[in-house]
Chains A and B, each alone.
Chain A
Amino acid sequence: MIRNIIKGLILTFLCIPANAENMLSGWKYTARFGYNIGGTAPIGMPATIRSMNKYKMQPNFSLGVDAQKVITGKWGILTGIHTESKGMEVDATVKNYHMVMTKGGDELEGYYTGNLVTECEEWMLTLPVMATYDISDKVRLKLGPYISYVSTRVFKGYVYDGYLRRMTPTGEKIEIGNTEESRGSYDFSDNMRHIQYGVDAGVDWQFSTRWGAYADIQWGVTGIHKSSFKTIEQTLFPIFGTLGITYYLK
Chain B
Amino acid sequence: MTAVLCIGITSCFKEEPLNAECDIEKAWIHYENPQESTWNLSDTVIKVYSAENTIIFKVRPGTDRTRLAPMFITTEGATIVPESGTMHDFSNGPLAYTVTSQDKDWQRIYNVAFTEEHRTVRDTIAYDFERVFLFTDPQTKKQYYKWSDLKEDGTEANNWASGNGGFSMASPSAKADEYPTTPNADGYDGKCVKLTTTKTGPLGQGARMPMAAGNLFLGSFITQTALIDALRSTHFGLPFDKKPVRFTGYYKYFPGEKFQDRYGNIEEGRVDKGAIYAILYKNHDNDGNPVVLYGDNVQTSEQIVAKAIMPEVRPTSEWTEFDLSFDYYENEIDMEDINNFKYSLAIVFSSSDQGAYFQGAIGSTLYIDKVKIICEKTK
Contact = CB atoms under 8 A, between A and B. Distances in A.
Given A52-B9, A174-B169, A182-B227, A37 B2 contact: yes
Given A48-B17, A169-B21, A172-B50, A108 B203 contact: yes
Interface string A86-115: 000000000110000101111110010000
Contact of A170 (B21, B140, B225): B21
Contacts of B207: 181-182
A107 B203 CA distance: 8
Q: How big is chain A's contact interface, by range?
A: 35 or more
Interface in B313-368: none
B14 interface: yes
A46 B14 contact: yes
B154 interface: no
Dominant secondary structure at the B interface: loop
A170 B137 CA distance: 12
Contacts of B6: 52, 55
B101 interface: yes
A57 interface: yes
A107 B228 contact: no
A47 B20 CA distance: 13
A171 B13 contact: no
A50 interface: yes
Contacts of A41: 9
B212 to A, nearest CB: 14
A243 B1 contact: yes
B378 interface: no
Interface in A69-100: 95-96
Contact of A45 (B1, B12, B205, B229): B12
Contacts of A106: 171-173, 201-203
Contacts of B226: 174
A167 B228 contact: no
Contacts of B12: 44-45
Contact of B2 (A55, A165, A173): A55
Contacts of B202: 103-106
Contacts of A241: 1, 5
B223 A96 contact: no
A9 to B, nearest CB: 25
B208 interface: yes
A129 B334 CA distance: 89
B108 interface: yes
Contacts of B32: none
B13 A96 contact: no
A134 interface: no
Choose among A47, A55, A176, A182 the residue with the greatest number of B CB atoms under 10 Å from its CB.
A182
B195 interface: no
B21 A165 contact: yes
A167 B139 CA distance: 6
A165 B140 CA distance: 11
B263 to A, nearest CB: 11
Contacts of B17: 47-48, 95-96
A172 B2 contact: no
Interface in A133-152: none
A180 B227 CA distance: 11
A157 interface: no
Contacts of B206: 103, 185
B15 A47 contact: yes
A177 B227 CA distance: 8
B139 A172 contact: yes
12 contacts: A47-B14, A50-B13, A52-B9, A166-B137, A170-B107, A173-B49, A173-B51, A175-B224, A177-B227, A177-B228, A181-B209, A241-B1
Query: 10 closest Cβ contacts across the A-B interface?
Result: A104-B202, A173-B50, A171-B139, A169-B20, A103-B202, A45-B12, A167-B139, A47-B14, A181-B208, A177-B228
Interface of A: 37-39, 41, 44-52, 55, 57, 95-96, 101, 103-108, 111, 165-177, 180-182, 184-185, 241, 243
